[in-house]
Amino acid sequence: MNPTPPVTPIADDIFQVRLPLPFALNHINTYLVRDDVGWTLIDTGLNHPASRATWKVAFDQLKLSPAQIRRIILTHHHPDHFGMAGWFQSQGAGLVYMSPRERELALLVWQEYSEQDFDSYMAAYGMPQELVATVAHGMSSTAAMTHPHPPFIGVIEPGSTVTIGERRFKALLAPGHSDGQMILYDANDKLMLSGDHILMKITPNIGLWPDTQPDPLGRFLESLRSLLTYDVRLGLPGHRAVITDWRGRIVELLEHHELRLGHTLAAVADGATVYAASLKVFNSQTFTPHEWRFAMAETLAHLAFLEKRGLVRRETTGEAILFCPVG
């Protein structure tokens, strides 16, 4: 089963629990924070057998039961974060909370997902038909791993204060990876539960999906710049290692997207579909269909950013949408 113990102590009252994922990005970090009467869980994992087995090991290690989790806070609606929320409730855990926009997206994406709509979205941006079918099917099997869904989801408004035990966290809106992603800042301890907003080694996927509000990359970059002013000793992310150089990593992410915008602009120099541009921007040799949809959505987010700033324009020729440089 899981060779390394899944639980890592972060502080007296905070534990990281790392769970397996059946994707190229093969794990997610969740966090248990001790409360006055029990525990608050931040993010949950994807509901598949390896994850449930890992939770069992983690609970044995911590001498806890799921019923001692009195509250679950989800940073965003993506399957690896949302997926086990309903399972936890079926095991006796307490209420699930999300930001208003993430709650809305959880319903849109996990309950109203249509393989057909997703197919036509990807096809319009130039994805070949064989790949579209595999990608859309992959989406359906991932969606299945978010069941059961929590019957009721409460809301935490960004800007409000969330008290967990002795800690007071400010809920901050951190859009880009998902429209309403919510991260939690404990100013006393200079600690940030940072979701997938800022990650080490990999850059969070910034994608324009069928349900995404306009210009996700613009909103992401703006949010990153505003977070440069926060004093953060330790960032606790949804994937990979903890963040010890908060500002340094933000600067790297800003530079990364600056470079990628240049590559994306070059990729459409002669006019290209999003799919054709993503072939040039990414090293696609090793991509699984699951990674392909992220590459497409990410390329589209960069093109939409350039379009909004008047650097590229779109042309509809036949079935597919073509992006071309302006001027």
> Applying CB under 5 A, does 196 fall inside the site for Zn ion?
yes
Distance of CA 207 to the CA centre of its chain: 10
**For Zn ion, which is the closer residue by CB, 66 or 238?**
238
Which residues inside 89-118 make contact with Zn ion, applying CB under 5 A?
none
Token pair recorded at residue 3: 């060779």
Q: How far is the CB of 181 from Zn ion (least distance, A)?
A: 10
d(CA 48, CA 146): 9
Q: How far is the CB of 183 from Zn ion (least distance, A)?
A: 13
* Per-residue mark of binding to Zn ion, 237-256 (x: CB under 5 A): -x------------------
Q: How far is the CB of 43 from Zn ion (least distance, A)?
A: 8
Q: By CB neighbour count within 10 A (0-12 exposed, 13-18 middle, 19+ buried), where does 9 fall?
A: exposed
The span of 75-83, 223-231, 270-278, 309-317 binding Zn ion (CB under 5 A) equals 75-83
Q: How far is the CB of 314 from Zn ion (least distance, A)?
A: 30
**Rounded (10°) CA dihedral 15, 28, 58, 110:** 110
Token pair recorded at residue 90: 């079926």
**For Zn ion, which is the closer residue by CB, 16 or 273?**
16
Distance of CA 177 to the CA centre of its chain: 5
For the chain, how far is it from start to end, CA to CA, in angstroms?
A: 57
- Are the beta carbons of 138 and 290 closer than 8 angstroms? yes
The span of 95-103, 109-117, 188-196, 198-206 binding Zn ion (CB under 5 A) equals 188-196
- Are the beta carbons of 276 and 12 closer than 8 angstroms? no
Single-letter code of the amino acid located at 36: D
The span of 8-16, 130-138, 192-200, 278-286 binding Zn ion (CB under 5 A) equals 192-200
**For Zn ion, which is the closer residue by CB, 81 or 260?**
81
Please pick, from the candidates 44, 69, 79, 80, the single residue that binds Zn ion as defined by CB under 5 A: 80
Single-letter code of the amino acid located at 200: M
> Applying CB under 5 A, does 43 fall inside the site for Zn ion?
no
Q: How far is the CB of 207 from Zn ion (least distance, A)?
A: 12
b/e for 224-248, b at 16 or more Cβ within 10 A? Answer: beebeebebebbbbbbeeebeebee
The span of 126-134, 167-175, 195-203, 228-236 binding Zn ion (CB under 5 A) equals 195-203
**For Zn ion, which is the closer residue by CB, 45 or 150?**
45
The reply to whether omega before 148 is within 30° of 0 (cis) is: yes
Beta bridge partners of 85: none
Q: By CB neighbour count within 10 A (0-12 exposed, 13-18 middle, 19+ buried), where does 305 fall?
A: buried
Q: How far is the CB of 80 from Zn ion (least distance, A)?
A: 5
# residues contacting Zn ion (CB under 5 A):
3
Q: State the pairing for strand pair 153-155/95-98.
A: parallel
Q: How far is the CB of 204 from Zn ion (least distance, A)?
A: 8
Q: How far is the CB of 239 from Zn ion (least distance, A)?
A: 6
**For Zn ion, which is the closer residue by CB, 189 or 211?**
211
> Applying CB under 5 A, does 291 fall inside the site for Zn ion?
no
**For Zn ion, which is the closer residue by CB, 68 or 194?**
194
**For Zn ion, which is the closer residue by CB, 35 or 196?**
196
Q: How far is the CB of 263 from Zn ion (least distance, A)?
A: 24
Ordered alpha helix ranges (H), 184-308: 216-227, 246-267, 274-281, 289-308
Q: Which residues bind Zn ion (CB under 5 A)?
A: 80, 196, 238
